[in-house]
A and B are shown apart, each in its own frame.
Chain A
Amino acid sequence: MVETTSYRSNIMICAGTGCVANGSLKLKDALAIELIRRGLQNEVKIVLTGCNGFCAKGPVIVVYPEDIFYQQVKAEDVPHLVEEHFIKGRPVQKFLYTPPARTEAIPVMSEIPFFKHQVLRALRNRSLIDAEKIEEYIARDGYLAAGKALTEMTPEQIVTEMKSSGLRGRGGAGFLSGLKWELCARVPGEIKYILCNGDEGDPGAFMDRSIMEADPHSVLEGMIIAAKAIGAHYGYIYVRAEYPLAVSRLQLAIDQAMEQGLLGKDILGSGFDLDIEIYQGAGAFVCGEETALMASIEGKRGMPRAKPPFPAVKGLWQRPSVLNNVETFANVPPIILNGAEWFAGIGSEKSKGTKVFALSGALNNIGLVEVPMGIPLRTIIQDIGGGIKGNRKYKAVQLGGPSGGCIPESLLDTPVDYENINKTGAIMGSGGMVVMDETTCMPAMAKFFLEFTEDESCGKCVPCRVGNKTLLNILERITNGEGREGDIELLETLSLQVKESSLCGLGQTSPNPVLTTIRYFRDEYEAHIKEHRCPARVCTPLVKFVVDQEKCKMCGLCFKACPAGAIVWEKKKPAYIDPEKCTKCKSCIKACRFWSID
């Protein structure tokens, strides 16, 4: 830890986007005032850190050296917290975390199931450093690997180390990073570019945002090492416009690194030069595709082009370029420092190391987690994620966002690595894991993703532009109750055609949600088409808004929830919905715990 010597305690306050929205900056101010009021300002230090990961419980703080985890602490709670913890010396029960289905709180962070199963490599500095201070990054062995790469290693040695580590691109496709570097290193050329993809466009994914905000120097260091390997002296970090905090933290990190001689001319006296610039995206999902991203940096419409030539040969401005994802770069420094064997020591046969996932949706514990490759999906969802919220049943998890697919309960024991996830029809993707419970309608979910990809298709190639639109039209009619016999088969055929004939990754993967929902939830499609029924009661045109008199438990929850006064109910009598008054808002369906409303 940094500077702990002069302080007896360190309070690490999460200043990630989630916690800031929940008031962590106000909390920091209140703590600072209270510590001064109590005369503790020289004994207890406040540090603003990047994302802690346990976003749902924000604002979260961790107190070192005791490793006590507090959640949902509000500014007004501060006097009590300081009194109890820092004066009386006992953890404050009220703010400790209690796992679902348990009554006893767990005070120590590393013992909480959400954290216990995690292995931190890309997120190695999580909750430990202030993202805005380069000294703290350096104190945690920061820039040591860059120093080693620049002064002790040849480009060939770096490439060899990377190749034998088995690190694969964390952006989704999973191409061996070392091999990518080697291809580019072999291409002769005075001018080459090293590019970082921070255009995290997958809805439900926020790993890269978190790394850029919490540990920007780890990205820069990874880029320095890669630049040396391929012989690039100029780099861009492409960050999406929706991430203003990431942009400002990265810019600050670049400025600090320049000041310390870790970027710019003659880095660390090695004679190697590298300048890095941030390029802000302007909101286009397709720019996550490498050739589209490069077109965007060139100031053009971000449209992909056919490959080959590959970017390693002709990339940005027609020069040899390497593009890696944020998380990939964050993984590089420890590999150089600890060696390929260390890195490959965990993971599965073909997928080494760890992967960061963004857990969201219908889980108890939402947030950011880093786990070893090969861990069963069930462990992530049940143990780390704490299972499904509110007594509902698990239905599926969507991996890889709109390019990925869903995985049903029967496949929950699938080890999470590139090969095994691909077998299910989903993809690893960049790491978004959105968990859905029984209240999600799968055809409607597929429609949601198609709306996204249809909207984000750049329009260059016909299969993607027209094919996705057609898929969407079919899904719209199914969810509107106008599905036709043969629609499922039509969806399947067309999906395969779009996948096979599209120009870039967007179209090649956009039918995945359709194909996987049909593969695992065909009965739901059939219910929509043949029985004009939406089993999850999501598709309004297919909901009858009739109370099943047999199933009704006469509890009156729907009566209380109805904003239109359309429900007739008395104690000990089943409810009845007046169709004249019903506005079809579905408040009753959400309120009913017994699926009694059809």
Chain B
Amino acid sequence: MSQEPAAGVTETPNEGVDLRDMSIKPEMYRKIDRIIEKYRSRPGSLIPVLQQAQEVCGYLPDKVQRYIAAGLKISPSVVFGVATFYSFFTLVPRGKHVIRVCLGTACYVNRSEEIVDKLKEKLGIQVGEITKDGKYSIEAVRCLGACGLAPVVVVGQDTYGAVAATKVMDIVNKYE
């Protein structure tokens, strides 16, 4: 396994390089090396490795997936297959503040779809996208298990219950 960062990462930014990949800094690869080292000898460790790598990088771009594949000595297609199977993993960057709207049954019957519509309208992005300034992204999630508070919106780590579509932007605006 190569201990050097994957090709392209240390290059100077230019127009031809995907800016999203430039967000992966060399020190992040060092951290990923340590994660791989910890798990390499254990069978079935791909999911925890991806989880922790995503914590380091914020998301799992193609280059990071290939880097992990090389480190764990498995095919990149296996890594890609797993990374795209589970909804926890994202292949595109997330906003500084991730707004997660619960679309579980209890939230649905309490009209959480209207919250999603309002967010899409006000932020000008679709679910799964990130605002141009990188501040926010919207995610629709399946049941957060806080049905007693339906409809539920989670911004970063903070849970908000009984959110009205008309008031959701007041919550979002608190996060700069």
What is the interface of chain A, defined by CB distance below 8 A to chain B? 17-18, 20-22, 55-56, 58, 200-206, 209, 241-243, 279-285, 296-302, 317, 358, 360-362, 366-368, 398, 401-402, 432, 434, 436, 440, 445, 448-449, 452, 456, 458
Contact = CB atoms under 8 A, between A and B. Distances in A.
Given A203-B143, A361-B105, 19 more contacts: A55-B148, A58-B149, A203-B104, A203-B105, A203-B107, A203-B108, A204-B104, A204-B147, A206-B148, A298-B44, A299-B43, A302-B86, A366-B106, A398-B105, A434-B105, A434-B106, A445-B109, A448-B105, A452-B142
A280 B88 CA distance: 11
B147 A206 contact: yes
Interface string B94-131: 00000000011111111000000000000000000000
B56 to A, nearest CB: 16
Contacts of B107: 203
Nearest to B105: A204
B149 A18 contact: yes
Contact of A299 (B45, B103, B147): B45
7 contacts: A18-B146, A21-B149, A55-B148, A204-B143, A280-B47, A280-B48, A281-B88
A302 B81 CA distance: 10
Nearest to B54: A282
A318 to B, nearest CB: 12
B148 A297 contact: no
A242 B145 contact: yes
Contacts of A201: 142-143
Nearest to A57: B148
A358 B105 CA distance: 12
Contacts of A401: 105
A296 B141 contact: no
A563 to B, nearest CB: 8
Interface of B: 43-48, 50-51, 81-82, 85-89, 103-110, 141-150, 152, 159-161
> Which of B87, B109, B145 has the most chain A CB atoms closer than 10 A to its own CB?
B145
B105 A18 contact: no
Nearest to A303: B85
Given A18-B148, A242-B141, A280-B51, A299 B87 contact: no
B161 A18 contact: yes
> Which of B50, B141, B146 has the most chain A CB atoms closer than 10 A to its own CB?
B146
A205 B43 contact: no
A302 B85 contact: yes
Closest 3 CB pairs of A and B: A55-B148, A203-B104, A282-B86
A459 to B, nearest CB: 9
A487 B44 CA distance: 45
B146 A206 contact: yes
B145 A243 contact: yes
B105 to A, nearest CB: 4
Contacts of A452: 142
A397 B53 CA distance: 42
B59 to A, nearest CB: 14
A280 B48 CA distance: 8
Contacts of A366: 106, 147-148, 150
B86 A361 contact: no
A202 B143 contact: yes
A298 B81 CA distance: 14
Given A21-B149, A203-B143, A301 B44 contact: no
A34 to B, nearest CB: 25
> Which of A18, A203, A204 has the most chain B CB atoms closer than 10 A to its own CB?
A203
Contact of A360 (B82, B85, B106): B106
A301 B81 CA distance: 7
Contact of B148 (A56, A202, A282, A284): A56
B147 A358 contact: yes
A317 B145 contact: no
Nearest to B45: A299
A203 B151 CA distance: 12
Contacts of B142: 201, 203, 283, 285, 452, 456
Contact of A282 (B43, B87, B105, B110): B87
A18 B141 CA distance: 17
Nearest to A213: B145
A115 B117 CA distance: 38
Nearest to B74: A299
Nearest to B157: A244
Nearest to B39: A299
A456 B150 CA distance: 22
B105 A17 contact: no
Nearest to A452: B142
A367 B47 CA distance: 33
A398 to B, nearest CB: 6
